[in-house]
């Protein structure tokens, strides 16, 4: 899973990236390089399990974020640069749109406005436009291809029908996500990386003083929205644990940005975590919801998937209530599950396998 931080120039993407990953922002200002970083997924359950099993090591799950240069459509030159960037954005599984609301006279404002709503509208319409162009090109190609009697012809006809529906949707300024309903349809278009098919979240980057009453951006219902002050959060990230909690209390920050954003992405992407333990380490793993146990095992090692025998599962809450694995077993809470079992969030799993 890769989540891209996308927005206009100087909206605070790199500052947010530092706040999430702890990787220093480097020099501020227009940056041309993308950066990749992993954000630790906070999980109190893992800490509890670590204590119970006296694990030497605790390894959190990670979510990968990409910090991208700003997208500008203000001049023809900028637009060309931005279109190149779109290619990189198409690779992401989810987009977090970073919109500037903070006032800072030292930082030039995109199009000389500080208006997160207008920025959201501009990005959305550019995304629609980029997808429309790509869909139209593909339709043109398919129209020629289906005139030839090839073995792929049936499939091409289906794709054409779907993309024609897509084009209508885009022309009506509706995202492609609205016409993609089945896994087959999703598969048909997955190689294009359409922007308007991707899950979105909006992050309004506010000034310290705006945190109490952050401006709200008009977004579609399925787009979650967070407001935070990226510069404050990145300062917090630089501190040691003790100093950080003192400063957080002082500044009235209850939950760190990383935790809020990771939670929001988990929910939007439908991800769940399962936990594993050995006498050495406790570890959390991320999988999409509805992942069968054998596939989840494959996330740890391909041998585990290949030689899968069974999964020994206890739900974290049951384990916690029982207080020990032994008691959980006595309570009948330890289950033996097969390959097809769908892993639930918070499952504590030991995979049995044989290769």
Ligand X SMILES: Nc1nc2c(ncn2[C@@H]2O[C@H](COP(=O)(O)OP(=O)(O)OP(=O)(O)O)[C@@H](O)[C@H]2O)c(=O)[nH]1
**Residue with Cβ nearer ligand X (12 or 50):** 12
Q: Which is nearer to Mg ion, 13 or 45 (CB)?
A: 13
Choose the one of Mg ion, ligand X, none that binds residue 30, judging by a C-beta under 5 to 8 angstroms depending on kind: ligand X
9 versus 193: smaller Cβ distance to ligand X: 9
Count of CB atoms situated within 10 Å of the CB of 2: 12
Q: Are strands 281-288 and 225-228 parallel, antiparallel or unpaired?
A: unpaired
Quote the least distance from Cβ 156 to ligand X, whole Å: 40
DSSP 248-299: HHHHT--S-HHHHHHHHHHHHHTEEEEEEE-SSEEEEEEEETT-BHHHHHHH
Candidates 25-33, 115-123, 269-277, 309-317: pick the segment binding Mg ion (CB under 5 A). 25-33
Q: Shortest approach of ligand X to residue 287 CB, angstroms?
A: 31
Closest CB to ligand X among residues 85, 275: 85
Least distance to Mg ion, CB of residue 76, Å = 22
9 binds, among ligand X, Mg ion, none (CB under 5 to 8 A by kind): ligand X
Distance CA 269, CA 93 (A): 8
Choose, by CB under 5 A, the member of 11, 18, 31, 291 that binds Mg ion.
31
CB of 15 to Mg ion, least distance (A): 8
User: What value, to the nearest 5°, has the Cα angle with vertex 173 and ends 168 and 175?
Assistant: 80
Q: Considering the rule CB under 5 A, would residue 14 count as an interface residue with Mg ion? A: yes
231 binds Mg ion (CB under 5 A): no
**Pairing mode of beta strands 62-67, 271-277:** unpaired
- Nearer to ligand X by Cβ, of 134 and 234: the residue is 234
The C-alpha torsion from 69 through 70 and 73 to 77, rounded to 10°, is -40
Q: What is the largest CA-CA distance in the chain?
A: 71
Question: Please, what is the minimum distance in Å from the beta carbon of residue 248 to ligand X?
Answer: 16
120 neighbors 219 (Cβ within 8 angstroms): yes
Q: Which does residue 11 touch among Mg ion, ligand X, none (CB within 5 to 8 A, set by kind)? A: ligand X
* Residue with smaller CB distance to ligand X, 176 or 264: 264
By residue count, the chain amounts to: 355
Residue, CB closest to ligand X:
70
Listed residue (35, 72, 203) closest to 27, CA to CA = 35
Instruction: State which residue, 119 or 347, has the beta carbon closest to ligand X.
Output: 119
Q: How far is the CB of 210 from ligand X (least distance, A)?
A: 9
For residues 211 and 227, give the distance between their C-alpha atoms in angstroms, rounded to a whole number: 7
Tell me which of Mg ion, ligand X, none is bound by residue 205, counting a contact when its beta carbon lies within the kind-specific cut-off of 5 to 8 angstroms.
ligand X
Q: State the DSSP H helix or E strand holding residue 63, giving kind and residue range, or none if neither.
A: strand 62-67
Q: Which helix (H) or strand (E) holds 134?
A: helix 116-145
Beta bridge pairs of residue 97: 6, 202
Rg (CA), the chain: 23
Please, which residue, 217 or 230, has the CB nearer to ligand X? 230
If one asks whether residue 66 binds Mg ion (CB under 5 A), the answer comes out as: no
Q: How far apart are CA 187 and CA 292, in angstroms?
A: 19
Alpha carbon distance 229, 211 (integer Å): 7
Q: Which two tokens stand for residue 27?
A: 């020099």
Q: Which residues bind ligand X (CB under 6 A)?
A: 7, 9-15, 25, 28, 30-31, 69-70, 102, 104, 107, 205, 207, 229-231
- Binds 99, which of Mg ion, ligand X, none (CB < 5 to 8 A, cut-off by type)? none
- Partner from Mg ion, ligand X, none binding residue 12, C-beta < 5-8 Å depending on class: ligand X
- In terms of CB distance, is 102 or 120 closer to ligand X? 102
| Interface contacts to Mg ion, rule CB under 5 A | 13-14, 31
């Amino acid at each position: 899973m890769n989540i891209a931080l996308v927005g206009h120039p100087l909206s605070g993407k790199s500052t947010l990236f530092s706040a999430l990953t702890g990787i220093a922002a480097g020099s501020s200002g227009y940056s041309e390089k993308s950066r990749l970083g992993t954000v630790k997924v906070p999980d109190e359950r893992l800490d509890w399990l670590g204590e119970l099993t006296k694990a030497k090591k605790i390894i959190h799950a990670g979510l990968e974020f990409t910090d991208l240069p700003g997208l500008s459509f203000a001049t023809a030159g900028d637009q060309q640069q931005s279109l190149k960037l779109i290619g990189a954005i198409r690779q992401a599984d989810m987009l977090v749109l970073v919109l500037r609301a903070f006032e800072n006279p030292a930082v030039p404002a995109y199009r000389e406005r500080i208006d997160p709503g207008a920025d959201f509208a501009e990005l959305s319409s550019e995304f629609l436009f980029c997808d429309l162009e790509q869909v139209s090109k593909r339709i043109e190609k398919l129209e020629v291809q289906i005139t030839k009697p090839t073995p792929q012809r049936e499939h091409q006809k289906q794709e054409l029908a779907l993309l024609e529906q897509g084009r209508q949707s885009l022309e009506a300024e509706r995202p492609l996500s609205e016409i993609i309903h089945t896994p087959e349809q999703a598969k048909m278009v997955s190689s294009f990386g359409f922007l308007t098919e991707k899950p979105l979240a909006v992050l309004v980057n506010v000034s310290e003083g705006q945190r109490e009453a952050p401006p709200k951006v008009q977004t579609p219902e399925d787009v979650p929205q967070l407001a935070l002050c990226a510069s404050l959060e990145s300062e917090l990230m630089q501190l040691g644990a003790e100093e950080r909690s003192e400063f957080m209390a002082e500044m009235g920050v209850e939950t760190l940005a990383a935790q809020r954003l990771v939670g929001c992405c988990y929910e939007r992407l439908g991800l769940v975590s399962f936990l594993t333990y050995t006498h050495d380490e406790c570890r959390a793993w991320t999988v999409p919801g509805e992942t069968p146990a054998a596939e989840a095992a494959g996330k740890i090692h391909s041998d585990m998937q290949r030689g899968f025998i069974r999964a020994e599962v206890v739900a974290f809450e049951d384990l916690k209530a029982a207080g020990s694995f032994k008691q959980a077993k006595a309570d009948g809470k330890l289950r033996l599950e097969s390959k097809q079992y769908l892993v639930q969030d918070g499952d504590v799993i030991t995979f049995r396998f044989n290769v």
